[in-house]
């Protein structure tokens, strides 16, 4: 061998410090080092101190991989969301992250927006033997369901509370919120109320809102077919498009309920451009109570969902289950109609 520089491949990582190195340095057995970290209360304080300082001196970072393999426990929770740009899911993730880190758990994030990618994500996530998996919605491919079921991993579905639920769930009854908003619009005197949503094929999780909305209108004796569907990629533009199309179909259109505040704000902007007086001649209502809802002029009437709390609650369910404590398996975080100036 001529020179180490001939070696190919990545530069060798510095030989990692192992638990046994710390043990030697501190003059104890490896097992005591393990205990000093994982069950400090059973180690004599002075021994513990000696071990910790040895660890510090050597720059020891425990190898969690080995620990998990040996113990069969993992402090990892996987989260599957369809998107993270969506402000609601971002809040949920924040809630999860906050609550999990309080309990020493880590967050594995997978963004999966199709049945296929969800299956793939579940498959690769399961390889890590997570302590729990947090899913969005309750619509999954049968193969995905089978995989999840037989894994035995605690499951939490979020943002819904309707059957079928795989294991545990955190959310609120979706249709109710949309129905309540529809009834509110009716009570304010609006009579030709449109709905702006996403194409059902892509986002069937939004379908429930539409159904709740429609049945409320039918019960009020109003037409329930002023439905507009936008592609998932449109943002604010969705509101504009909905207004254009629905007003063409029904010139007397006097209110628009949107699946998302983003659409709703887009619709408000469009009213501004066209000089339509809101809420006198036209009402706009949204869903989500995103930050912008309180800032636009007039303020947006919307459904406040509690994404952050959903995240925290989901984290709790997993943590409790991991600790072996029996807990509730359904959490209703509720929702709230926020009445501002737009309706």
Give the interface with a copy of itself as residue ranges (CB under 8 A): 8-10, 13-14, 59, 61-69, 74, 83-85, 87, 90-91, 93-94, 97-98, 101, 104, 106-111, 117, 120-121, 123-129, 147, 150-152, 235-237, 262, 265-266, 269, 272-273, 291-292, 294-297, 321-322, 324
- Please identify which residue in the block is written with the tokens 């020891």: 60
> Which of 7, 49, 69, 327 is the binder for DNA (CB under 7 A)?
69
Distance CA 277, CA 343 (A): 11
Least separation in angstroms between residue 319's CB and DNA is 17
Nearer CB in complex with DNA: 29/272: 29
- Provide DSSP, 98-166: HHHHHTT-EEEEEE--SHHHHHHHHHHHHTT--SEEEEESS---HHHHHHHHHHT--EEEES---S--S
Alpha helices (H) in the chain, listed in sequence order: 19-26, 30-38, 45-58, 64-71, 87-102, 115-126, 142-151, 174-187, 207-219, 237-249, 261-274, 307-322
Cα angle 158-163-167, degrees, rounded to a multiple of 5:
60
Regarding 62 and contact with DNA (CB under 7 A), the answer is yes
Nearer CB in complex with DNA: 48/203: 48
Least separation in angstroms between residue 42's CB and a copy of itself is 19
Are 132 and 318 in contact by the 8 Å Cβ rule? The answer is yes
Q: Which does 14 bind (CB under 5 to 8 A by kind): DNA, a copy of itself, none?
A: a copy of itself
Nearer CB in complex with a copy of itself: 145/207: 145
Regarding 54 and contact with DNA (CB under 7 A), the answer is no
Are 343 and 174 in contact by the 8 Å Cβ rule? The answer is no
> Which of 10, 11, 14, 72 is the binder for DNA (CB under 7 A)?
72
Q: Which of the ranges 41-49, 74-82, 178-186, 322-330 carries the binding residues for DNA, by CB under 7 A? A: 41-49
Regarding 214 and contact with DNA (CB under 7 A), the answer is no
Least separation in angstroms between residue 26's CB and DNA is 9
Q: How far apart are the first and last CA of the chain?
A: 81
Regarding 299 and contact with DNA (CB under 7 A), the answer is no
Q: Which does 6 bind (CB under 5 to 8 A by kind): DNA, a copy of itself, none?
A: none
Distance CA 147, CA 80 (A): 15
Least separation in angstroms between residue 73's CB and DNA is 6
- Look at residues 177, 148, 180, 149 and name the one whose alpha carbon lies nearest to residue 161: 177
Q: How far is CA 42 from CA 182, 200, 219, in A?
A: 60, 57, 66
Nearer CB in complex with a copy of itself: 255/293: 293
Regarding 341 and contact with DNA (CB under 7 A), the answer is no
Peptide bond into 279 cis (omega under 30): yes
Q: Which residues bind DNA (CB under 7 A)?
A: 16, 18-20, 28-32, 34-35, 37-38, 42-44, 47-48, 62-63, 66-67, 69-73
């Amino acid at each position: 061998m001529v020179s180490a520089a001939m070696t190919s491949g990545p530069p060798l990582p510095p030989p990692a410090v192992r638990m046994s190195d710390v043990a030697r340095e501190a003059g104890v057995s490896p097992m005591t080092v393990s205990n000093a970290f994982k069950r400090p209360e059973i180690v004599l304080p002075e021994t513990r101190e000696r071990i910790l300082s040895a660890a510090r001196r050597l720059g020891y970072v425990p190898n969690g991989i080995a620990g998990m393999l040996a113990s069969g426990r993992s402090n990892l929770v996987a989260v599957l969301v369809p998107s993270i740009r969506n402000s609601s899911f971002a809040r949920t993730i924040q809630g999860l992250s906050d609550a999990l880190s309080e309990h020493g758990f880590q967050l594995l994030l997978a963004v999966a927006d199709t049945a296929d990618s969800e299956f793939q994500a579940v498959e690769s996530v399961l390889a890590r033997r997570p302590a729990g998996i947090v899913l969005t919605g309750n619509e999954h491919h049968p193969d995905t369901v089978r995989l999840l079921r037989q894994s035995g991993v605690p499951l939490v579905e979020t943002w819904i509370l309707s059957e079928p639920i795989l294991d545990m769930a955190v959310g609120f009854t979706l249709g109710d919120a949309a129905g309540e908003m529809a009834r509110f619009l009716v009570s304010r005197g609006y009579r030709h109320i449109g709905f702006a949503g996403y194409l059902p094929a892509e986002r069937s999780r939004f379908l429930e809102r539409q159904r709740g909305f429609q049945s409320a209108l039918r019960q009020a004796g109003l037409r329930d077919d002023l439905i507009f569907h936008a592609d998932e990629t449109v943002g604010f533009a969705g509101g504009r498009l909905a207004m254009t199309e629905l007003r063409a179909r029904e010139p007397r259109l006097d209110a628009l309920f949107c699946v998302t505040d983003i659409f709703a704000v887009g619709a408000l902007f469009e009213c501004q451009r066209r000089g339509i007086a809101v809420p006198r001649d036209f009402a706009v209502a949204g869903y989500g109570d995103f930050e912008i809802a309180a800032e636009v002029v007039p303020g947006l009437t919307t459904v406040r969902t509690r994404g952050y709390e959903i995240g925290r609650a989901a984290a709790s369910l997993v943590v409790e289950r991991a600790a072996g404590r029996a807990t509730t398996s359904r959490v209703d975080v509720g929702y709230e109609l926020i009445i501002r100036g737009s309706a």
